[in-house]
Amino acid sequence: MTMTLAEKIIARAAGEARVRPGDIVTCRVDLAMMHDSGGPRRIKPMLERIGAEVWDLSKVVIITDHFVHERDADSVAIQKTTREWVAAQGLGNFHDAEGICHIVLPERGYLRPGMFVVGGDSHSTTGGAYGCLMIGIGSTEMAGVLATGEIWVRVPPTVRVQAAGRLGAGVAAKDIMLMLCRRIGISGANYKAVEYAGPAVDAMPMSERMVLTNMAAELGAKAGIIAPDAVTADALAEAGVAATGTDGWRGDDGAAYERTIAFDADDLAPQVAAPHSPENSAPVDAHAGTPVDQAYIGACTGAKLEDLRMAALILHGRKTAVPLFVAPASVRTAEAAAGDGTMAALEEAGARILPSGCGACIGLGPAALGAEKVGISTTSRNFKGRMGAVTSATYLASPYTVAATAIAGRIADPREFLADATP
């Protein structure tokens, strides 16, 4: 009767004693999250067409983050539709322009271990860092969830990523994910639950764990998940959530994993993914010296407070050689970075601070890449045209490596800048 953590959460949501990979079950949804792009503008007409009302407004969260700082007619109309629908529904869980949905959701204390959560975005897998199962779904599926409070699920097999050792100086969770993208490919965990474990994961703060679960989507995974522990309890407490029951949610001894991917974090170098796929990654030396036109620290993957601190450690006392844009992942992140001196270090180095939101990650705002331009970014994807002009090119890297590259004006190993870095 052993089950993995993902299977346990699905079984609870389905009201079953046990589920196995391949089973198709109907799950009760504990929480549904939408943003402005895939939310009311798409859901509203569907619900009206079938004459359905939202099953439980207390279990729905809407966070605007995609079009919040754009002034074009389409963006303004999308925001108007979102706000009007929220008001008409009397929806209380509404966070307007507070930051990127995958960051704001846990910041505001919505996530708890053992929950079954759906989100209207592919990177909804981020929530699994809190020991819940959170999957990304499309607008049609979301309309069904809002109308019924349920969704059918084919139970995914679980792939275990076992990280021994500990990450070295200048190496981050982003480097793990870029290495995995190369090692198994961007469809290498297609419709799997990826569970991260091992000493290297245990040692990570929550912000770094969120990178692992966030970029499970880049592996093709249905979900990314990490068993809750003391780090989880601390993160929940910071969000004002009682951490009771944290230890109860973990896979059983002897649970069946489809496979285990093991590596030693001690041996991992900073990674860089070349255009136009995250799986085009290699150790930074393979791309060192490649000139770039600009650098970007932003997105749900790479602009949390810890990410900004990584960049500030490299940038402190130095000046950038190319434009560096920084878009903090949330308003709270920006406030915390201003309060502890991180933001000052970034600005003094020459960084231009942008409002919190998805921004250049989806090709919007002043940091979007122009024609023929080459950028390096902390975002999760570098598909052709995603960050701007179709003729532009984006390299992916950690905040450490992006900051080092901004200083050098070419792709650079951040470890070269750490020896004499001043905090």
pLDDT digits (tens, 9 = 90+) for 52-69: 999 999 999 999 999 999
Run of H or E residues at 208 = helix 206-214
Same domain, 163 and 76: yes
CB atoms within 10 A of CB 421: 16
Question: Is residue 422's pLDDT more than 90?
Answer: no
pLDDT band at 1 (very low <50, low <70, confident <90, very high): confident
pLDDT digits (tens, 9 = 90+) for 402-411: 999 999 999 9
Answer positive or negative: Cα dihedral of 173, 174, 180, 183.
negative
264, 293, 309: which is the final residue of a domain?
Answer: 264
Same domain, 14 and 92: yes
pLDDT value of residue 274: 98
30 within some domain: yes
pLDDT value of residue 378: 98
pLDDT value of residue 421: 58
Same domain, 235 and 358: no
Give the CATH number, domain containing residue 341: 3.30.499.10
423 within some domain: no
264, 291, 313: which is the final residue of a domain?
Answer: 264
pLDDT value of residue 248: 80
CA 258 to mean position of chain CA atoms = 24
Residue 18: give the domain boundaries.
Answer: 5-247+254-264
**230 CB contacts (<8 Å, ≥6 apart)?**
none
Average the pLDDT over each of 23-32, 34-43, 255-264, 411-420 and give the range with the smallest value: 411-420
Same domain, 143 and 221: yes
63, β-bridge pairs: 35, 95
231, 264, 297: which is the final residue of a domain?
Answer: 264
pLDDT digits (tens, 9 = 90+) for 243-261: 766 778 999 999 999 999 9
How many structural domains compose the chain? Answer: 2
Rounded CA separation 218/238 (Å):
29
pLDDT value of residue 10: 98
Same domain, 162 and 290: no
pLDDT digits (tens, 9 = 90+) for 103-155: 999 999 999 999 999 999 999 999 999 999 999 999 999 999 999 999 999 99
Same domain, 259 and 299: no
pLDDT value of residue 26: 98
Helices (H), 256-373: 299-302, 305-315, 331-339, 342-348
**Residue type for 128, please?**
G
| Distance between first and last Cα of the chain | 51
